[in-house]
Amino acid sequence: MSYFSRIPKIAYEGPGSDNPLAFRHYDAQRVVLGKTMAEHLRLATCYWHTFVWPGSDVFGAGTFERPWQQGGEPMARAREKADAAFDFFTRLGTPFYTFHDTDVAPEGHGLADYRANFAAMVDVLERKQADTGVKLLWGTANLFSHPRYAAGAATSPQPEVFAYAATQVRHAMEATHRLGGANYVLWGGREGYDTLLNTDLKRERAQMGRFFQMVVEHKHKLGFKGTILIEPKPQEPTKHQYDYDTATVYSFLKEFGLENEVKTNLEANHATLAGHSFHHEVATSIALGVFGSIDANRGDPQNGWDTDQFPNSVEEMTLVIYEILRAGGFTTGGFNFDTKVRRQSHAADDLFHGHIGAIDTLALGLDRAARMIEKDTLADLKAKRYAGWDAELGTKILQGGFSLASLADEAVSRDLQPSHVSGQQELLENIVNRYIYG
Amino acid sequence: MSYFSRIPKIAYEGPGSDNPLAFRHYDAQRVVLGKTMAEHLRLATCYWHTFVWPGSDVFGAGTFERPWQQGGEPMARAREKADAAFDFFTRLGTPFYTFHDTDVAPEGHGLADYRANFAAMVDVLERKQADTGVKLLWGTANLFSHPRYAAGAATSPQPEVFAYAATQVRHAMEATHRLGGANYVLWGGREGYDTLLNTDLKRERAQMGRFFQMVVEHKHKLGFKGTILIEPKPQEPTKHQYDYDTATVYSFLKEFGLENEVKTNLEANHATLAGHSFHHEVATSIALGVFGSIDANRGDPQNGWDTDQFPNSVEEMTLVIYEILRAGGFTTGGFNFDTKVRRQSHAADDLFHGHIGAIDTLALGLDRAARMIEKDTLADLKAKRYAGWDAELGTKILQGGFSLASLADEAVSRDLQPSHVSGQQELLENIVNRYIYG
Amino acid sequence: MSYFSRIPKIAYEGPGSDNPLAFRHYDAQRVVLGKTMAEHLRLATCYWHTFVWPGSDVFGAGTFERPWQQGGEPMARAREKADAAFDFFTRLGTPFYTFHDTDVAPEGHGLADYRANFAAMVDVLERKQADTGVKLLWGTANLFSHPRYAAGAATSPQPEVFAYAATQVRHAMEATHRLGGANYVLWGGREGYDTLLNTDLKRERAQMGRFFQMVVEHKHKLGFKGTILIEPKPQEPTKHQYDYDTATVYSFLKEFGLENEVKTNLEANHATLAGHSFHHEVATSIALGVFGSIDANRGDPQNGWDTDQFPNSVEEMTLVIYEILRAGGFTTGGFNFDTKVRRQSHAADDLFHGHIGAIDTLALGLDRAARMIEKDTLADLKAKRYAGWDAELGTKILQGGFSLASLADEAVSRDLQPSHVSGQQELLENIVNRYIYG
Amino acid sequence: MSYFSRIPKIAYEGPGSDNPLAFRHYDAQRVVLGKTMAEHLRLATCYWHTFVWPGSDVFGAGTFERPWQQGGEPMARAREKADAAFDFFTRLGTPFYTFHDTDVAPEGHGLADYRANFAAMVDVLERKQADTGVKLLWGTANLFSHPRYAAGAATSPQPEVFAYAATQVRHAMEATHRLGGANYVLWGGREGYDTLLNTDLKRERAQMGRFFQMVVEHKHKLGFKGTILIEPKPQEPTKHQYDYDTATVYSFLKEFGLENEVKTNLEANHATLAGHSFHHEVATSIALGVFGSIDANRGDPQNGWDTDQFPNSVEEMTLVIYEILRAGGFTTGGFNFDTKVRRQSHAADDLFHGHIGAIDTLALGLDRAARMIEKDTLADLKAKRYAGWDAELGTKILQGGFSLASLADEAVSRDLQPSHVSGQQELLENIVNRYIYG
């Protein structure tokens, strides 16, 4: 009997429904701007927070006590966990899922165990994907939980740790490839430092650069057609993490010649921890041509750690989806719920409430963003604002038609006295709200 | 009669002195690691906070009421201000100074006024430099105070504003060249955005890229041998500034092919506003090969704006100077006091107390950092920590001797089980304090 | 000819309107939960940001250049400003306004000037109120802009400054009384410290306590029936402000016996600068019985200073208004727009866009909050959650029926093993969104 | 054979020593201002971080693998842990220790187990105290780790949880009393909320108030002469914790009539998480008459969670100790090291390095603070700054000799025009550094 057997398959019932176990806005097959909602959003449930995490925090023990978290023979428990996970995916209706290697299989002791356990569980996942139709949005390797990674994986001071990490990544990439994953993700939870006093920044950067190059080379060797993604995060568990934010990742990709090979997997809560709005990180990745995928969650504006809460702000998500739609939408990426229920929310149905609310938030955001695109007042006003750069002076400047001195001469000879023009921020904010609440 | 006539020339009196108008640690001619303190620190007083700012803040009027801030004929006031500034430099004994074009000359109305006033004041400065021996560490142009720059300078939506900015920069660069400046600084106070709703990030990045290229081309055309510096800041006055931190600046330089032409001018308070330690920003710039100069100040750890206070933490500055010394010390850069007395500190001697305390803080930091270098335990422990990367496995990895698969095969065949090694952070922190308080 | 003559009277046109100079949600006379929207919201426009501030910031000059900000005879300008302000209030349709003494009248030099100018302008305001029907929500005194207040007003180290401040407050209170103000506000912008090194916390607390007592005594002597309000703010311009947040203000009121005499005027941006959600500050003031009024604005989540932007989050405001409605709504308080357009938004219509968007945000919040109240699922679930405290054990504990030892004995004898119950946070968040987007 | 057997007894060797396992500044018997360093500082080692925590964090497993953390019979392990702890205290030389009930004894299942295990371990601790001379600075109860406390202890929505917590506190208080503890601490790790949507602030405040009253009543009934301490913390693990900071605690104590019964136990890292300097929290507690004890640690200025690092800033600690000395020094309180080594620092000697560095930091701070007291320039300047408040006008104001109106009349009749006086912040900061580095 399934852990989730009391929960019905979640169906779309429309905005008027007061059934807490139904979608009110996410209608998977509804067509918006030429694609279904499902095709636009490419929703994924994650394995780690939803099936692995026991509800513990730094100050307290786990509160969840799921059946598969009760101890016992590890591989049997891993199979039970997979049963529960795919049962959950199916009842909820998210077409994709995501995992770390050690989420799905027990790590065991040493590489032989690791490889055997993981291979066995990849077989299980492959069958379950075939049985349910659920697909893999991305896989990744956990290079941060085991004590061996306490000082980093690719950036460890010990090359043996780098080699161990390479082994995990190789297997996780190959599993992802075999399972038809759409992307492969790198998150460097401990690629950073706790103190500069024991850290050689230049050396660690070179290590990380070589690691990423090896990953990209392996992708091509495998014939993996998915996207390699890096997930920026500024800190936690380290004091400082090397893939701080989009701009930092981009500097790294440029240095190692990877800017056309690797894209970003942006997480809302990581953006805010880095001192940026989520909107900023998405817009910046798009502007730099490295936008890939999204870990959809939210942080707490008053707390300084990664709370990984379910997104519930339509106001925030509308703007993010507007940027993504304007950039052409996802290719291989999607919205992955890197989210966890609160430690108090230990009941089975809380897992559904969290995801349902998040999915409806995205569906509303998609609906409102589509309205914004259909009559794109913002884009029109923006084009008007920069019109001078498409006219003679602007074009000539950007095309290199002036030196500093000749442009200064031009300014003096024309006695330029440009006056300031309103940026109309308040009007623009009102227009956005008109689309959201119109 | 000088505004500072009551203040004696500040002399070194040694640690035992309780004269508040004397140095207790900064002995300009004392030789440390082969150079004098003056040669190491290359101290500069800034014009703007010290002679231009009236002591106002967002909630209140100016409290300083310096004689040259009383209104009257602008050029006469500018000359009085220059008299006071060079009198101050001389009494204090900082060998360098720094300025914005509009600090030293009234802006007037339009480019004709601007050029005439600025040219006249550059003549004045040139004479004063000759008279006093004070030198110019760097010049810059103010591209943020006038309303025309409300939406940016190089990144303005109006190309006419770009052209106006280019004119100012041309003149500020040429003045800096003529005055023998060691560097030229670009700070993009309004190169950023207030809202993404009216901002085209990609377009503005292209504008900024072209602007910087024009600056570098002009440098070479002039034959200016100084360094072009960019000063990162994350925000304020804008919501988001494009040269957020070192990593962001580096991504930009790489994209526009300027990473060998431009270096960073790092400010302590800007580092902390960006979510980094000052130590981090200095170490990162050094690791990326773009370290240039320092705006020495401090922020308030509890306040979220740029307080520009005088540095007073020897603990912080020792680590920063240690990094700089290990990287070979300043070339054209130096420590510029981009600092302001508190609004309550309106008395003439408060300006001296602020600078004297800051200079003694740097002198103590230099002294302690030199001790750290002389017997460099930290470097020894760091070398030991990474020794594996200089041995066979590490070298082979970094030199490209492994693919991901072949390295994984190696790990499996050797059954690698690396165990974690202590990072010894607590020991290292104690060692640092031993140098500071030993 | 009026500065705002191009702007029509702002009318309610309904959600479908795309007229940017109309209300889409604020229908002043619409009845919600038994009162009109106007009666619920009690909207006020502030004088200082909207008519006094020139669009300057720490890094740049004013961009607004309103006619009455052009210099000239101060009292004539003050009359022009009052004309513009009441013209604005009338076109916009906010029934209330708010001011500082020095917003409406030039301060002049010394107390004689101050009193004469202020008295003359109070006559002007009185006439204008009569002519337009606009009412005064509250008045206050500016005890922070003049250099004399650089070290505080009531908490100045100079009792003469305390006396000067008392004089301003006396006149501002009496003017408020005469103009029929509904409240009088105390905001201690410089009641705090820049450094503990020169500050006697205990002494300054005693000074502030006596000041507040004098204010309350004067209120009763005058027969003023309005509410005395304190506006918490954690910092800026000071490093630390003594009325940090609601809890701090409450500690102060309890110490000086004023908890039944003084209430809070809560500002959204001040709440977030203090590390709290706005919702928290409102709920806390209500729980402590000291809720008074609101300064409705928003901060920037990524910036650490008071940005005073117009509120535009219906999601945030709905919860705030829900709390206020549940507590019975405003008595003398209201929503005052302590907000300013961005420095780039210098056009006359920007002032309208800012206020219109904010008013529609509050109207939507009111509409959604009213739905939440009509069928108050949140309150029902909350009552259920705490039901044990209304049952035997809970009641006996709270009524003092147990000592620590006897309660422990009871727990042991009953072998209590309470198990945890889900807090249902995700479900509750979904319910809120159902009300907002249903 | 002891886990710490390779570590010698830590001795004072003086500033010149480069033995990392020696004190360079802490000379326990050295007399400073009439008391020994040991008497001034009253140093304590904590049980939880140093002996219980396995080196885990949210992203990774424990790295420490101490022998007593290896699983096995819980009471046997608890005895081993006590052996290790007292061995550590003795080798290190900290005269005090601190614990939670569940640090020293396994919790077991239900109250019967809890009581039996705890009682047995209190016997063990009593013997060890007698054998070693180590004393108990304070005890406390862990009311946050077990799932039953997920929604709070005293503020739980379930009165049964309140009763369970009362039982633990009763036993922890009685154990503390029996072991001669100098204080008893209350830290409400989960007394707060995760979301306001399910929280009744007023009700929870009443619950907490009654709980604290019961604790105080029990203290008197027991005849416990120690101090009851509350430890403020703003958040983590909850979103918001009710004892946010000193001011919030004080508001609570005043409301429940406990301001003369309860004092604060201030933690450096909790102060900074609350947006205050540690100095602020200490000075505020002293000014309000509720200063009790210190949890000496430090946070990371760039990270938003409780890092509990060892204090290493003499600059920060000197000012804190200066305040404490001026207030008469500790009575029952002391400096407790609520500190943990970094997760990478898994070696036995890392525990010593952490504590040794922290102790030397406090010893240096004490030495420098004593210098500041001996010739108290700061106090002299402060007295001078406020001199007006001891003169006629100031005294009359504070003694209630003026109403607002009569004081305003006085100001007008004397035509007061107070001018601003420099706050001399820069000079004062230089004076502090003169004491630290003189």
Domain boundaries, chain A: 27-374, 378-437
Q: Min CA distance, D328 vs chain A (Å)?
A: 35
Say whether B60 and C304 touch across the interface (CB within 8 A): no
Which of A151, A160, A385 is the closest to B157 by Cβ?
Answer: A385
Q: Which CATH number is associated with domain A27-374?
A: 3.20.20.150
Residues in A touching C50 (Cβ below 8 Å): none
Tens of pLDDT, residue by residue over D49-86, are 999 999 999 999 999 999 999 989 999 999 999 999 99
> Which residues fall within 8 angstroms of residue A341, CB to CB, at 6 or more apart?
A310, A350, A351, A353, A354, C425, C426
For residue A432, the surrounding DSSP H or E stretch is helix A425-437
Q: Which chain B residue's Cα is nearest to D14?
A: B438
d(CA A176, CA A138): 7
Looking at residue D181, its pLDDT comes to: 98
d(CA C228, CA C223): 13
For residue C168, the surrounding DSSP H or E stretch is helix C159-178
d(CA D312, CA D327): 23
Neighbours of chain C (3+ CB pairs under 8 A): A, B, D
Say whether A302 and C276 touch across the interface (CB within 8 A): yes
Q: Min CA distance, B405 vs chain C (Å)?
A: 43
Residues in B touching D427 (Cβ below 8 Å): 20, 349-350, 353
According to DSSP, residue D327 is labeled T
Residues in D touching A235 (Cβ below 8 Å): 302-303
Residue A124, phi then psi, degrees to nearest 5 = -60, -45
Tens of pLDDT, residue by residue over A91-142, are 999 999 999 999 999 999 999 999 999 999 999 999 999 999 999 999 999 9
Q: Which CATH number is associated with domain C28-374?
A: 3.20.20.150
Give me the residues of chain C with pLDDT under 50, please.
none
Q: Which chain A residue's Cα is nearest to B385?
A: A157
Domain B11-374 has CATH 3.40.50.1700: no
D194 assigned binding-site residue: no
Structure tokens at B336: 């510029």
Tens of pLDDT, residue by residue over A380-424, are 999 999 999 999 999 999 999 999 999 999 999 999 999 999 999
d(CA D190, CA D154): 9
Looking at residue A2, its pLDDT comes to: 87
Give me the residues of chain D with pLDDT under 50, please.
none
Which of B151, B273, B344 is the closest to C194 by Cβ?
Answer: B344
Q: Which chain C residue's Cα is nearest to A438?
A: C15
Place of tokens 């989960």: D190
Which of C218, C248, C382 is the closest to D405 by Cβ?
Answer: C218
Residues of D numbered 361-390 whose beta carbons fall under 8 angstroms of chain B's beta carbons: which are they?
361, 364
Q: How far is CA D311 from CA B113, B426, C426, D298, in A?
A: 57, 10, 39, 5
The CA-based dihedral angle spanning residues C300, C306, C310, C316, taken in that order and rounded to the nearest 10 degrees: 60
Long-range contacts of A394-402 (CB under 8 A, 24+ apart): A394/B159, A394/B162, A397/B159, A397/B162, A397/B163, A397/B207, A397/B210, A398/B206, A398/B207, A398/B210, A400/B210, A402/B166, A402/B214
C344: contact with A, CB 8 A cutoff: yes
C338 assigned binding-site residue: yes
Q: How far is CA B78 from CA B81, B98, B107, in A?
A: 5, 15, 11
Looking at residue A137, its pLDDT comes to: 98
Say whether A237 and D342 touch across the interface (CB within 8 A): no
Q: Min CA distance, B386 vs chain C (Å)?
A: 37
A406: contact with B, CB 8 A cutoff: no
Say whether B194 and A419 touch across the interface (CB within 8 A): no
Taking alpha carbons only, the member of D281, D254, D282, D389 closest to residue C203 is: D389
Say whether B420 and D346 touch across the interface (CB within 8 A): yes
Neighbours of chain B (3+ CB pairs under 8 A): A, C, D
Residue-averaged pLDDT of chain B:
97
C347: contact with A, CB 8 A cutoff: yes
Binding residues of A for Mg(2+): 231, 267, 270, 295, 306, 308, 338
Looking at residue C149, its pLDDT comes to: 98
Asked if pLDDT for residue B1 goes beyond 70, the answer is: no
Given pLDDT bands bounded at 50, 70 and 90, which one contains residue B2? confident
User: Among D389, D406, D424, which would you mutate to test the C interface (most chain C Cβ atoms within 10 Å of its Cβ)?
Assistant: D389
What is the set of active-site residues of A?
A: 100, 103
Q: Min CA distance, C80 vs chain B (Å)?
A: 23
Q: Min CA distance, C12 vs chain B (Å)?
A: 26
Place of tokens 């091509």: A220
Judging by beta carbons within 10 Å of its beta carbon (0-12, 13-18, 19+), is residue B62 exposed, middle or buried? Answer: middle
Say whether B389 and A423 touch across the interface (CB within 8 A): no
Which of D57, D303, D342 is the closest to A304 by Cβ?
Answer: D303
Long-range contacts of A18-22 (CB under 8 A, 24+ apart): A18/C434, A20/A353, A20/A356, A20/C427, A20/C430, A20/C431, A21/A349, A21/A352, A21/A353, A21/A356, A22/A356
Q: What is the mean pLDDT of residues B70-84?
A: 96
Q: Among this protein's residues, is C376 annotated catalytic?
A: no
Q: How far is CA D215 from CA C191, C404, D110, D167, D174, in A?
A: 36, 7, 22, 11, 11
Say how many CB pairs under 8 Å bridge A and D.
Answer: 98
Looking at residue D180, its pLDDT comes to: 98
Residues in C touching D407 (Cβ below 8 Å): 162-163, 166-167, 214
A203: contact with B, CB 8 A cutoff: yes
Neighbours of chain A (3+ CB pairs under 8 A): B, C, D
C308 assigned binding-site residue: yes
Q: Among this protein's residues, is B415 annotated catalytic?
A: no
Q: Min CA distance, B146 vs chain C (Å)?
A: 6
Q: Which chain D residue's Cα is nearest to A301?
A: D239
Measured over the CA atoms of residue C192, residue C196, residue C200 and residue C205, the dihedral's sign is positive
Which of D25, D280, D423 is the closest to B344 by Cβ?
Answer: D423
A302: contact with C, CB 8 A cutoff: yes
Q: Which chain B residue's Cα is nearest to C237?
A: B59
**Alpha helical stretches, state H, A149-245:** 159-178, 201-222
Q: Which of C27, C103, C360, C367 is catalytic?
A: C103
Beta bridge partners, B274, equal: none
Start-to-end Cα distance in chain A: 46
Say whether A344 and D62 touch across the interface (CB within 8 A): no
What amino acid is encoded at B71 in this protein?
G
DSSP class per residue in A253-275: HHHTT-TTTEEEEEEHHHHHHTT
Total residues belonging to chain B: 438
d(CA A297, CA A195): 29
Model ipTM value: 0.97
Looking at residue B83, its pLDDT comes to: 98
Which of D273, D303, D343 is the closest to A236 by Cβ?
Answer: D303
C261, C229 Cβ separation under 8 angstroms: no
Residues in C touching A342 (Cβ below 8 Å): 423, 425-426
Neighbours of chain D (3+ CB pairs under 8 A): A, B, C
Q: What angle do CA C266, C268, C271 make, to 5 degrees?
A: 80
